């Protein structure tokens, strides 16, 4: 059964609370203003904007991190513009304002009073298009399209009558309950898989079934082959969001998907409300429908 009221309550329980939203807003506004006005960055600074699950409205529960892209006027081919150099320079600027900063693969992380911010430097490949962002590990600039990701999520949510964003939250909630860490993919991989498989559902229950069965039918073939297939970024199709997904972790996730798809189908097709709710609780926990 579809149990629409139960799903609505489940989604509501996933939403970040108001205090978390206020804390995140205050933190990202502060660092964006600092990057705009600092003596070392103001001449190169072009704009900052939010990205990630916080901006795409797919975050659940506590807002653990907020992604901020800082667009800079720089020539990535010039001496002194290597990814490591730019990231080190950016960390030095942020060290003026924050006691805890951390170099990461493509960003500088900062702790800002209850929220973690990831500051990603970038420069346009071309106007209104993708960005060059640093890849510290690969020691090169790589393309990404954060605004394309935002647009793709917005369009998919519109096309599905609002089910896309809410289904991402449901699938993240299911993911967080999986028994092993290696079976839990990173959030943007999960968002991408939902984007690929959600179809045009008429209820949350059908959306969940579409996604789980869709992932299993699309990628189940690769289970056990020791490889992870190319999974295209909805924001920029030449980017593989699964590039760093370990094959053992991929297999562990697919094992969970296969079992969950069977349970979700049984829950949807159950004609007894109590039995259907019992099955959905296997995916979303004992509080589903409570």
Q: Which domains does the chain have, with CATH numbers?
A: 18-144 (3.30.460.90), 148-284 (1.10.1410)
Tokens of 29: 């506004």
Beta bridge partners of 103: 108
**How does strand 232-233 pair with strand 236-240?**
antiparallel
SS3 122: strand
Distance CA 254, CA 213 (A): 11
Q: Give 10-residue mean pLDDT values along the chain (290 residues).
A: 97 92 95 98 96 95 92 95 96 98 96 94 95 93 98 98 98 97 97 99 99 98 97 98 97 98 99 98 93
Q: Where are the beta strands (DSSP E) in the chain?
A: 45-51, 65-72, 101-103, 108-111, 116-124, 131-135, 140-144, 232-233, 236-240
Q: 3-class DSSP state for residue 49? A: strand
Nearest to 71 by CA among 108, 23, 119, 22: 119
Closest CA to 211 of 252, 251, 173: 173
pTM over 0.85: yes
Question: What is the reported pLDDT for 79?
Answer: 94
Q: What is the pLDDT of residue 138?
A: 82
Residues whose CB is less than 8 angstroms from the CB of residue 264 and which lie 6 or more positions away in sequence, other chains included: 205, 208, 209, 212, 213, 279, 280, 283
Contacts of 49 (CB under 8 A, 6+ apart): 55, 68, 69, 71, 146, 147
pLDDT recorded at residue 114: 83
């Amino acid at each position: 059964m579809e149990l629409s009221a139960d799903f609505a309550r489940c989604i509501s329980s996933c939403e970040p609370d108001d205090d978390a939203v206020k804390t995140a807003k205050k933190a990202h506004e502060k660092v964006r203003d600092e990057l705009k006005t600092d003596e070392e960055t103001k001449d190169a600074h072009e704009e900052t904007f939010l990205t990630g699950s916080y901006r795409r409205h797919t975050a659940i529960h506590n807002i653990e991190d907020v992604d901020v892209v800082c667009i800079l006027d720089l020539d990535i081919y010039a001496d002194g513009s290597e990814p490591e150099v730019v990231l080190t320079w950016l960390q030095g600027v942020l060290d003026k304002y924050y006691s805890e900063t951390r170099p990461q693969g493509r960003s500088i992380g900062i702790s800002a009073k209850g929220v973690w911010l990831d500051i990603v430097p970038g420069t346009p490949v071309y106007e209104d298009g993708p960005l060059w962002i640093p890849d510290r590990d690969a020691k090169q600039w790589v393309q990404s399209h954060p605004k394309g990701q935002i647009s793709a999520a917005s369009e998919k949510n519109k096309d599905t009558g609002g089910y896309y964003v809410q289904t991402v939250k449901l699938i993240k909630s299911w993911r967080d309950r999986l028994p092993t860490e290696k079976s839990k993919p990173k959030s943007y991989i999960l968002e991408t898989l939902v984007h690929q498989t959600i179809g045009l559902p008429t209820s949350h229950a059908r959306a969940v079934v579409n996604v789980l069965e869709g992932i299993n039918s699309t990628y189940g073939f690769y289970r056990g082959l020791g490889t992870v297939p190319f999974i295209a970024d909805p924001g920029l199709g030449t980017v593989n969001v699964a590039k760093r997904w370990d094959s053992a972790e991929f297999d562990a996730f697919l094992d969970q998907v296969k079992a969950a798809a069977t349970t979700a189908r049984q829950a949807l097709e159950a004609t007894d409300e109590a039995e259907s709710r019992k099955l959905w609780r296997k995916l979303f926990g004992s509080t589903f429908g409570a």
